[in-house]
Chains A and B, each alone.
Chain A
Amino acid sequence: MEWQAIWLSLRLSFWTTVILLAIGLPAAYWLTYSLRKWKFLVEAVIALPLVLPPTVLGFYILMAIGPRSPAGKLYATLTGGMLPFSFQGLLVASVLYSLPFAVQPFAAGFAAVDRRLIEASWCLGVSRAATFFRVIVPLSAPAIVTGMILAFAHTLGEFGVVLMVGGNLPGITRTVSIAIFDDVQALNYQAALNTSLLLLGISFCVLAATYGLRRRVWAVWPMN
Protein backbone atom coordinates (compact mmCIF):
# COMPACT_ATOMS: atom_id res chain seq x y z
CA MET A 1 0.00 0.00 0.00
CA GLU A 2 1.27 3.44 -0.90
CA TRP A 3 0.98 5.06 2.53
CA GLN A 4 3.45 7.80 1.72
CA ALA A 5 1.42 8.82 -1.32
CA ILE A 6 -1.85 8.60 0.58
CA TRP A 7 -0.55 10.80 3.38
CA LEU A 8 0.79 13.27 0.82
CA SER A 9 -2.55 13.44 -0.99
CA LEU A 10 -4.43 13.96 2.27
CA ARG A 11 -2.07 16.79 3.23
CA LEU A 12 -2.40 18.35 -0.20
CA SER A 13 -6.21 18.14 -0.10
CA PHE A 14 -6.33 19.53 3.42
CA TRP A 15 -4.25 22.60 2.61
CA THR A 16 -6.00 23.17 -0.70
CA THR A 17 -9.32 23.19 1.15
CA VAL A 18 -8.03 25.60 3.80
CA ILE A 19 -6.71 28.02 1.18
CA LEU A 20 -9.86 27.72 -0.91
CA LEU A 21 -11.95 28.52 2.14
CA ALA A 22 -9.88 31.66 2.71
CA ILE A 23 -10.05 32.95 -0.85
CA GLY A 24 -13.25 31.23 -1.98
CA LEU A 25 -15.57 32.85 0.58
CA PRO A 26 -14.65 36.46 -0.36
CA ALA A 27 -14.70 35.56 -4.05
CA ALA A 28 -18.13 33.96 -3.76
CA TYR A 29 -19.38 36.94 -1.73
CA TRP A 30 -18.23 39.31 -4.44
CA LEU A 31 -19.76 37.15 -7.17
CA THR A 32 -23.10 37.03 -5.36
CA TYR A 33 -23.49 40.63 -4.26
CA SER A 34 -21.48 42.68 -6.73
CA LEU A 35 -23.53 44.76 -9.15
CA ARG A 36 -20.77 45.02 -11.78
CA LYS A 37 -21.97 44.29 -15.29
CA TRP A 38 -18.80 42.38 -16.24
CA LYS A 39 -19.21 40.01 -13.32
CA PHE A 40 -20.02 37.17 -15.72
CA LEU A 41 -16.50 37.36 -17.10
CA VAL A 42 -15.05 36.65 -13.66
CA GLU A 43 -17.53 33.83 -13.23
CA ALA A 44 -16.35 32.34 -16.51
CA VAL A 45 -12.69 32.58 -15.49
CA ILE A 46 -13.36 30.90 -12.13
CA ALA A 47 -15.29 28.11 -13.85
CA LEU A 48 -12.53 27.51 -16.44
CA PRO A 49 -10.91 24.56 -14.60
CA LEU A 50 -14.24 22.71 -14.95
CA VAL A 51 -13.94 22.49 -18.71
CA LEU A 52 -10.23 23.02 -19.38
CA PRO A 53 -8.33 19.76 -19.87
CA PRO A 54 -6.12 19.24 -16.77
CA THR A 55 -3.07 18.88 -18.99
CA VAL A 56 -3.69 22.32 -20.47
CA LEU A 57 -4.12 23.81 -17.03
CA GLY A 58 -1.02 21.97 -15.79
CA PHE A 59 1.02 23.12 -18.76
CA TYR A 60 0.06 26.76 -18.21
CA ILE A 61 0.79 26.49 -14.50
CA LEU A 62 4.18 24.93 -15.24
CA MET A 63 5.01 27.78 -17.60
CA ALA A 64 3.69 30.35 -15.15
CA ILE A 65 5.58 29.16 -12.09
CA GLY A 66 8.69 27.70 -13.77
CA PRO A 67 12.15 29.12 -13.03
CA ARG A 68 12.11 31.14 -16.26
CA SER A 69 8.82 32.93 -15.55
CA PRO A 70 8.54 36.24 -13.63
CA ALA A 71 6.47 34.56 -10.90
CA GLY A 72 8.98 31.72 -10.64
CA LYS A 73 11.90 34.14 -10.39
CA LEU A 74 10.12 36.19 -7.73
CA TYR A 75 9.40 33.04 -5.74
CA ALA A 76 13.03 31.96 -6.08
CA THR A 77 14.38 35.28 -4.78
CA LEU A 78 11.89 35.33 -1.89
CA THR A 79 12.29 31.74 -0.71
CA GLY A 80 15.36 30.42 -2.51
CA GLY A 81 13.25 27.46 -3.62
CA MET A 82 11.33 26.49 -6.71
CA LEU A 83 7.62 25.93 -7.26
CA PRO A 84 7.58 23.16 -9.89
CA PHE A 85 8.30 19.69 -8.51
CA SER A 86 7.61 20.88 -4.96
CA PHE A 87 4.72 20.46 -2.55
CA GLN A 88 4.10 24.21 -2.59
CA GLY A 89 3.89 24.16 -6.39
CA LEU A 90 1.35 21.35 -6.25
CA LEU A 91 -0.60 23.39 -3.73
CA VAL A 92 -0.73 26.39 -6.09
CA ALA A 93 -1.87 24.13 -8.93
CA SER A 94 -4.47 22.36 -6.79
CA VAL A 95 -5.97 25.61 -5.55
CA LEU A 96 -6.47 26.80 -9.13
CA TYR A 97 -7.68 23.39 -10.26
CA SER A 98 -10.29 23.04 -7.49
CA LEU A 99 -11.31 26.71 -7.37
CA PRO A 100 -14.76 26.31 -9.04
CA PHE A 101 -15.57 23.30 -6.88
CA ALA A 102 -15.40 25.54 -3.82
CA VAL A 103 -16.53 28.91 -5.16
CA GLN A 104 -19.61 27.73 -7.06
CA PRO A 105 -21.32 25.98 -4.11
CA PHE A 106 -20.35 28.89 -1.85
CA ALA A 107 -21.92 31.41 -4.24
CA ALA A 108 -25.02 29.28 -4.73
CA GLY A 109 -25.41 29.08 -0.95
CA PHE A 110 -25.03 32.83 -0.53
CA ALA A 111 -27.55 33.52 -3.29
CA ALA A 112 -30.12 31.33 -1.56
CA VAL A 113 -29.97 33.38 1.64
CA ASP A 114 -33.10 35.55 2.02
CA ARG A 115 -32.06 39.04 0.99
CA ARG A 116 -34.49 40.57 3.55
CA LEU A 117 -32.61 38.98 6.45
CA ILE A 118 -29.35 40.52 5.26
CA GLU A 119 -30.91 43.94 4.80
CA ALA A 120 -32.61 43.71 8.17
CA SER A 121 -29.23 43.04 9.72
CA TRP A 122 -27.71 46.06 7.96
CA CYS A 123 -30.66 48.26 9.03
CA LEU A 124 -30.10 47.21 12.62
CA GLY A 125 -26.63 48.72 12.33
CA VAL A 126 -24.66 45.48 12.02
CA SER A 127 -21.60 45.94 9.83
CA ARG A 128 -21.25 44.15 6.52
CA ALA A 129 -18.49 41.93 7.85
CA ALA A 130 -20.47 41.01 10.96
CA THR A 131 -23.57 40.39 8.85
CA PHE A 132 -21.52 38.07 6.67
CA PHE A 133 -20.28 35.98 9.58
CA ARG A 134 -23.45 36.08 11.71
CA VAL A 135 -26.19 35.88 9.08
CA ILE A 136 -24.90 34.74 5.70
CA VAL A 137 -22.39 32.10 6.78
CA PRO A 138 -24.69 30.29 9.25
CA LEU A 139 -27.54 30.31 6.72
CA SER A 140 -25.37 28.94 3.93
CA ALA A 141 -23.38 26.52 6.09
CA PRO A 142 -24.53 23.42 4.16
CA ALA A 143 -23.34 24.97 0.90
CA ILE A 144 -20.01 25.92 2.44
CA VAL A 145 -19.52 22.40 3.77
CA THR A 146 -20.43 21.01 0.34
CA GLY A 147 -17.91 23.28 -1.35
CA MET A 148 -15.17 22.27 1.07
CA ILE A 149 -15.90 18.58 0.64
CA LEU A 150 -15.96 18.87 -3.14
CA ALA A 151 -12.68 20.78 -3.17
CA PHE A 152 -11.10 18.18 -0.88
CA ALA A 153 -12.34 15.21 -2.89
CA HIS A 154 -11.48 16.80 -6.23
CA THR A 155 -7.92 17.49 -5.10
CA LEU A 156 -7.57 13.96 -3.77
CA GLY A 157 -8.19 12.58 -7.24
CA GLU A 158 -6.35 15.06 -9.42
CA PHE A 159 -3.99 13.50 -11.92
CA GLY A 160 -3.22 15.44 -15.08
CA VAL A 161 -2.24 18.66 -13.38
CA VAL A 162 -0.03 16.84 -10.86
CA LEU A 163 1.65 14.90 -13.64
CA MET A 164 2.55 18.12 -15.42
CA VAL A 165 3.61 20.19 -12.43
CA GLY A 166 4.74 17.58 -9.90
CA GLY A 167 7.21 15.20 -11.46
CA ASN A 168 6.37 12.04 -9.50
CA LEU A 169 8.84 12.57 -6.63
CA PRO A 170 8.25 10.10 -3.77
CA GLY A 171 7.01 11.88 -0.65
CA ILE A 172 6.93 15.28 -2.33
CA THR A 173 4.76 15.15 -5.41
CA ARG A 174 3.85 11.47 -5.87
CA THR A 175 0.17 11.71 -5.00
CA VAL A 176 -2.16 8.72 -4.75
CA SER A 177 -3.34 8.83 -8.35
CA ILE A 178 0.24 9.11 -9.63
CA ALA A 179 1.27 6.22 -7.40
CA ILE A 180 -1.54 4.09 -8.85
CA PHE A 181 -0.46 5.00 -12.39
CA ASP A 182 3.12 4.10 -11.51
CA ASP A 183 2.14 0.79 -9.92
CA VAL A 184 0.20 -0.20 -13.04
CA GLN A 185 3.20 0.58 -15.24
CA ALA A 186 5.36 -1.51 -12.93
CA LEU A 187 2.86 -4.37 -13.46
CA ASN A 188 2.30 -4.16 -9.71
CA TYR A 189 -1.44 -4.71 -10.10
CA GLN A 190 -2.05 -5.81 -6.50
CA ALA A 191 -0.65 -2.56 -5.06
CA ALA A 192 -2.61 -0.50 -7.60
CA LEU A 193 -5.75 -2.42 -6.70
CA ASN A 194 -5.29 -1.91 -2.96
CA THR A 195 -4.60 1.80 -3.28
CA SER A 196 -7.50 2.28 -5.69
CA LEU A 197 -9.82 0.48 -3.32
CA LEU A 198 -8.73 2.68 -0.44
CA LEU A 199 -9.30 5.79 -2.55
CA LEU A 200 -12.74 4.53 -3.50
CA GLY A 201 -13.49 3.92 0.18
CA ILE A 202 -12.30 7.38 1.24
CA SER A 203 -14.28 9.06 -1.55
CA PHE A 204 -17.43 7.20 -0.62
CA CYS A 205 -17.05 7.92 3.10
CA VAL A 206 -16.43 11.61 2.48
CA LEU A 207 -19.50 11.97 0.28
CA ALA A 208 -21.69 9.81 2.53
CA ALA A 209 -20.63 11.91 5.51
CA THR A 210 -21.54 15.12 3.68
CA TYR A 211 -24.95 13.98 2.61
CA GLY A 212 -25.63 12.34 5.97
CA LEU A 213 -24.59 15.45 7.84
CA ARG A 214 -26.77 17.63 5.69
CA ARG A 215 -29.84 15.51 6.19
CA ARG A 216 -29.59 15.16 9.92
CA VAL A 217 -28.68 18.70 10.86
CA TRP A 218 -30.54 20.80 8.37
CA ALA A 219 -33.53 18.79 7.26
CA VAL A 220 -35.57 20.16 10.16
CA TRP A 221 -35.01 23.77 9.08
CA PRO A 222 -36.79 24.67 5.87
CA MET A 223 -34.19 26.62 3.94
CA ASN A 224 -36.56 29.03 2.24
Chain B
Amino acid sequence: MRTALLAAALLATACAPRPASLRIAAAADLRFALDDVVQTYTRAHPEVRVEPVYGSSGLFYAQLQNRAPFDLFLSADVEYPHKLAQQGLILPGSQFNYAVGRIVLWTRQASGIDVEHLGIDALRQPAVHHIAIANPAHAPYGRAADAALHSLGVYDAVKDKIVMGENISQAFQLAESGAADVGIVALSLAMAPGVATQGRYWEVPASAYPRLEQGGAIPKWSRDAAAAQRFRAFLLAPEGRAILKRYGFSGE
Protein backbone atom coordinates (compact mmCIF):
# COMPACT_ATOMS: atom_id res chain seq x y z
CA MET B 1 0.00 0.00 0.00
CA ARG B 2 2.74 2.40 0.99
CA THR B 3 4.63 1.50 -2.19
CA ALA B 4 1.52 2.24 -4.23
CA LEU B 5 1.16 5.64 -2.57
CA LEU B 6 4.80 6.45 -3.19
CA ALA B 7 4.40 5.36 -6.80
CA ALA B 8 1.33 7.57 -7.19
CA ALA B 9 3.17 10.53 -5.69
CA LEU B 10 6.12 10.00 -8.01
CA LEU B 11 3.82 9.68 -11.01
CA ALA B 12 1.94 12.82 -10.04
CA THR B 13 5.11 14.86 -9.78
CA ALA B 14 6.34 13.42 -13.06
CA CYS B 15 3.23 14.58 -14.89
CA ALA B 16 2.28 17.75 -13.02
CA PRO B 17 2.38 20.85 -15.22
CA ARG B 18 5.05 23.31 -14.20
CA PRO B 19 4.64 27.05 -13.82
CA ALA B 20 5.82 28.68 -17.04
CA SER B 21 9.34 29.98 -17.09
CA LEU B 22 11.57 31.60 -19.64
CA ARG B 23 14.06 28.95 -20.71
CA ILE B 24 17.08 30.37 -22.53
CA ALA B 25 19.51 28.34 -24.60
CA ALA B 26 22.62 30.46 -24.14
CA ALA B 27 26.08 30.20 -25.65
CA ALA B 28 28.62 29.18 -23.02
CA ASP B 29 30.58 32.46 -23.27
CA LEU B 30 27.56 34.12 -21.62
CA ARG B 31 27.76 31.92 -18.54
CA PHE B 32 28.67 34.65 -16.07
CA ALA B 33 27.46 37.71 -17.96
CA LEU B 34 23.96 36.39 -18.57
CA ASP B 35 23.63 35.20 -14.97
CA ASP B 36 24.23 38.82 -14.06
CA VAL B 37 21.68 40.08 -16.61
CA VAL B 38 19.12 37.56 -15.35
CA GLN B 39 19.67 38.62 -11.76
CA THR B 40 19.09 42.26 -12.60
CA TYR B 41 16.11 41.40 -14.77
CA THR B 42 14.36 39.26 -12.17
CA ARG B 43 14.85 41.97 -9.56
CA ALA B 44 12.70 44.21 -11.75
CA HIS B 45 10.36 41.38 -12.83
CA PRO B 46 10.06 39.01 -9.88
CA GLU B 47 7.09 37.22 -11.46
CA VAL B 48 9.27 35.71 -14.21
CA ARG B 49 11.47 32.70 -13.64
CA VAL B 50 14.37 32.89 -16.11
CA GLU B 51 16.33 29.68 -16.57
CA PRO B 52 19.45 29.95 -18.70
CA VAL B 53 20.98 26.69 -19.93
CA TYR B 54 24.57 26.99 -21.17
CA GLY B 55 26.23 24.99 -23.91
CA SER B 56 27.86 25.25 -27.29
CA SER B 57 25.85 27.16 -29.90
CA GLY B 58 26.17 24.28 -32.34
CA LEU B 59 24.69 21.86 -29.84
CA PHE B 60 21.72 24.15 -29.25
CA TYR B 61 21.31 24.59 -32.99
CA ALA B 62 21.08 20.82 -33.42
CA GLN B 63 18.65 20.56 -30.52
CA LEU B 64 16.49 23.41 -31.80
CA GLN B 65 16.24 21.68 -35.15
CA ASN B 66 14.62 18.91 -33.12
CA ARG B 67 12.29 21.46 -31.52
CA ALA B 68 13.99 21.55 -28.14
CA PRO B 69 11.68 23.38 -25.73
CA PHE B 70 13.61 26.65 -25.38
CA ASP B 71 11.91 30.06 -25.37
CA LEU B 72 14.89 32.11 -26.46
CA PHE B 73 18.18 31.28 -28.18
CA LEU B 74 21.32 33.37 -27.61
CA SER B 75 24.00 32.09 -29.95
CA ALA B 76 27.70 32.97 -30.02
CA ASP B 77 27.43 33.77 -33.71
CA VAL B 78 24.82 34.98 -36.18
CA GLU B 79 25.02 31.92 -38.45
CA TYR B 80 23.03 29.51 -36.28
CA PRO B 81 20.04 31.85 -35.71
CA HIS B 82 20.15 32.67 -39.41
CA LYS B 83 20.06 29.00 -40.40
CA LEU B 84 17.13 28.43 -38.06
CA ALA B 85 15.35 31.37 -39.70
CA GLN B 86 15.94 29.87 -43.14
CA GLN B 87 14.35 26.63 -41.97
CA GLY B 88 11.33 28.54 -40.69
CA LEU B 89 11.94 27.50 -37.09
CA ILE B 90 11.90 30.94 -35.47
CA LEU B 91 9.26 33.64 -35.11
CA PRO B 92 9.44 35.89 -38.18
CA GLY B 93 11.52 38.98 -37.46
CA SER B 94 12.69 37.74 -34.07
CA GLN B 95 16.37 37.62 -35.06
CA PHE B 96 18.63 40.15 -33.35
CA ASN B 97 22.28 40.89 -32.64
CA TYR B 98 23.16 41.61 -29.04
CA ALA B 99 26.95 41.73 -28.69
CA VAL B 100 30.35 41.30 -30.25
CA GLY B 101 32.62 38.82 -28.52
CA ARG B 102 36.37 38.91 -28.10
CA ILE B 103 38.94 36.20 -27.41
CA VAL B 104 41.95 36.20 -25.11
CA LEU B 105 44.92 34.05 -24.26
CA TRP B 106 44.30 33.18 -20.63
CA THR B 107 46.53 31.54 -18.06
CA ARG B 108 46.54 31.11 -14.29
CA GLN B 109 48.63 33.58 -12.30
CA ALA B 110 50.48 30.60 -10.88
CA SER B 111 51.55 29.26 -14.27
CA GLY B 112 54.24 31.91 -14.58
CA ILE B 113 53.63 32.26 -18.31
CA ASP B 114 53.87 35.93 -19.17
CA VAL B 115 51.07 36.12 -21.72
CA GLU B 116 50.70 39.91 -21.45
CA HIS B 117 54.17 40.52 -22.87
CA LEU B 118 54.74 37.45 -25.01
CA GLY B 119 51.38 37.62 -26.73
CA ILE B 120 50.71 34.75 -29.10
CA ASP B 121 54.35 33.62 -28.80
CA ALA B 122 53.55 32.54 -25.24
CA LEU B 123 52.10 29.43 -26.88
CA ARG B 124 55.57 28.45 -28.12
CA GLN B 125 56.99 28.39 -24.59
CA PRO B 126 58.22 24.95 -23.49
CA ALA B 127 56.18 25.36 -20.31
CA VAL B 128 53.03 25.21 -22.41
CA HIS B 129 52.03 21.59 -22.86
CA HIS B 130 48.32 21.98 -23.44
CA ILE B 131 46.27 24.76 -25.00
CA ALA B 132 42.53 24.59 -24.36
CA ILE B 133 40.13 25.81 -27.03
CA ALA B 134 36.45 25.11 -27.65
CA ASN B 135 35.63 22.55 -30.29
CA PRO B 136 35.56 24.48 -33.60
CA ALA B 137 33.11 21.96 -35.04
CA HIS B 138 30.21 23.36 -33.09
CA ALA B 139 31.48 26.27 -30.97
CA PRO B 140 31.94 29.69 -32.62
CA TYR B 141 34.60 30.65 -30.06
CA GLY B 142 36.50 27.51 -31.03
CA ARG B 143 36.36 28.62 -34.66
CA ALA B 144 37.64 32.07 -33.69
CA ALA B 145 40.54 30.53 -31.73
CA ASP B 146 41.35 28.25 -34.63
CA ALA B 147 41.29 31.15 -37.09
CA ALA B 148 43.52 33.26 -34.82
CA LEU B 149 46.10 30.47 -34.49
CA HIS B 150 46.23 30.19 -38.27
CA SER B 151 46.35 33.89 -39.06
CA LEU B 152 49.00 34.59 -36.41
CA GLY B 153 51.15 31.85 -37.90
CA VAL B 154 51.54 29.61 -34.87
CA TYR B 155 49.08 26.86 -35.74
CA ASP B 156 51.61 24.34 -37.10
CA ALA B 157 53.96 24.90 -34.18
CA VAL B 158 51.29 24.33 -31.52
CA LYS B 159 48.68 22.09 -33.11
CA ASP B 160 49.78 19.03 -31.12
CA LYS B 161 49.23 20.89 -27.87
CA ILE B 162 45.58 21.72 -28.53
CA VAL B 163 42.94 20.16 -26.30
CA MET B 164 39.26 20.79 -26.90
CA GLY B 165 36.43 21.57 -24.57
CA GLU B 166 32.88 20.79 -25.65
CA ASN B 167 32.10 24.48 -25.37
CA ILE B 168 34.01 27.63 -24.45
CA SER B 169 33.25 27.48 -20.74
CA GLN B 170 34.59 23.94 -20.57
CA ALA B 171 37.73 25.10 -22.38
CA PHE B 172 37.99 27.86 -19.78
CA GLN B 173 37.48 25.35 -16.98
CA LEU B 174 40.37 23.28 -18.38
CA ALA B 175 42.65 26.33 -18.22
CA GLU B 176 41.29 27.57 -14.89
CA SER B 177 41.91 24.21 -13.22
CA GLY B 178 45.46 24.19 -14.56
CA ALA B 179 44.89 21.00 -16.57
CA ALA B 180 45.71 23.09 -19.64
CA ASP B 181 48.47 25.66 -19.26
CA VAL B 182 46.82 28.22 -21.51
CA GLY B 183 43.32 28.64 -22.87
CA ILE B 184 42.09 30.65 -25.82
CA VAL B 185 38.80 31.70 -24.33
CA ALA B 186 36.11 34.35 -24.34
CA LEU B 187 37.02 37.64 -22.74
CA SER B 188 33.62 37.51 -21.01
CA LEU B 189 34.76 34.46 -19.02
CA ALA B 190 38.17 35.94 -18.17
CA MET B 191 36.43 39.05 -16.80
CA ALA B 192 34.01 37.15 -14.55
CA PRO B 193 34.22 38.26 -10.93
CA GLY B 194 35.93 35.63 -8.82
CA VAL B 195 38.18 34.38 -11.59
CA ALA B 196 39.42 37.74 -12.85
CA THR B 197 41.98 37.90 -10.06
CA GLN B 198 43.19 34.36 -10.55
CA GLY B 199 44.44 34.74 -14.06
CA ARG B 200 46.10 37.03 -16.53
CA TYR B 201 45.35 37.38 -20.18
CA TRP B 202 46.40 38.89 -23.47
CA GLU B 203 43.71 40.01 -25.83
CA VAL B 204 44.01 38.52 -29.29
CA PRO B 205 43.89 41.37 -31.84
CA ALA B 206 40.44 41.60 -33.42
CA SER B 207 42.04 41.53 -36.87
CA ALA B 208 43.28 37.98 -36.30
CA TYR B 209 39.88 36.29 -36.45
CA PRO B 210 36.49 36.90 -38.06
CA ARG B 211 34.29 39.29 -36.09
CA LEU B 212 32.40 37.39 -33.39
CA GLU B 213 29.02 38.98 -33.90
CA GLN B 214 26.58 37.27 -31.54
CA GLY B 215 22.94 36.92 -32.44
CA GLY B 216 19.78 35.39 -31.08
CA ALA B 217 16.26 34.44 -32.04
CA ILE B 218 12.96 33.31 -30.56
CA PRO B 219 11.92 29.80 -31.58
CA LYS B 220 8.46 29.43 -33.11
CA TRP B 221 7.35 27.17 -30.26
CA SER B 222 8.40 29.57 -27.49
CA ARG B 223 5.74 29.08 -24.78
CA ASP B 224 5.64 32.78 -23.99
CA ALA B 225 6.93 34.78 -26.93
CA ALA B 226 5.91 38.05 -25.28
CA ALA B 227 8.06 37.28 -22.23
CA ALA B 228 10.95 36.31 -24.52
CA GLN B 229 10.56 39.60 -26.37
CA ARG B 230 10.55 41.55 -23.11
CA PHE B 231 13.77 39.86 -22.04
CA ARG B 232 15.34 40.52 -25.43
CA ALA B 233 14.34 44.18 -25.17
CA PHE B 234 15.99 44.38 -21.74
CA LEU B 235 19.17 42.81 -23.09
CA LEU B 236 19.32 45.33 -25.92
CA ALA B 237 18.39 48.32 -23.76
CA PRO B 238 21.14 50.47 -22.17
CA GLU B 239 20.85 48.61 -18.87
CA GLY B 240 21.37 45.19 -20.45
CA ARG B 241 24.15 46.43 -22.70
CA ALA B 242 25.92 48.01 -19.75
CA ILE B 243 26.09 44.63 -18.01
CA LEU B 244 27.38 42.92 -21.15
CA LYS B 245 29.97 45.67 -21.48
CA ARG B 246 31.23 44.95 -17.97
CA TYR B 247 32.08 41.47 -19.24
CA GLY B 248 34.06 42.79 -22.17
CA PHE B 249 31.44 42.57 -24.89
CA SER B 250 31.48 45.50 -27.26
CA GLY B 251 28.09 46.84 -28.30
CA GLU B 252 27.99 47.69 -31.96
Contact = CB atoms under 8 A, between A and B. Distances in A.
Interface stretch (A27-35, A39-47, A96-104, A164-172): A164-172
A182 interface: yes
Nearest to A84: B66
Interface residues of B, number: 25
Interface stretch (B49-57, B94-102, B138-146): B49-57
Contact of B66 (A66, A87, A170, A185): A66
- Residue with the highest number of chain B CB atoms closer than 10 Å, among A66, A82, A167: A167
Contacts of A182: 54
A84 B70 CA distance: 12
Nearest to A67: B67
Interface string B1-30: 000000100100110001000010000100
Given A62-B66, A84-B68, A168-B53, 6 more contacts: A11-B10, A68-B66, A170-B51, A174-B53, A184-B173, A187-B176
Nearest to B198: A187
Interface residues of A, number: 25
Contacts of B169: 185-186
A18 interface: yes
A135 B31 CA distance: 58
Interface in A119-171: 167-171
B42 interface: no
Given A11-B10, A167-B63, A171-B18, A185 B28 contact: yes
Interface string B217-241: 0000000000000000000000000
B46 to A, nearest CB: 18
Contacts of B14: 11, 15, 87
A79 to B, nearest CB: 11
Interface string B168-182: 011011001000000
A60 interface: no
A199 to B, nearest CB: 19
B69 interface: yes
A137 to B, nearest CB: 17
27 contacts: A11-B14, A15-B14, A62-B66, A66-B66, A67-B67, A82-B67, A84-B63, A84-B67, A85-B63, A85-B66, A85-B68, A85-B69, A86-B69, A87-B14, A167-B69, A168-B55, A169-B23, A169-B53, A170-B51, A171-B18, A184-B173, A185-B54, A185-B170, A185-B173, A186-B31, A186-B54, A187-B172
Contacts of B10: 11, 14-15
Contacts of A62: 66
B66 A67 contact: yes
B206 interface: no
Contacts of B68: 84-85, 167
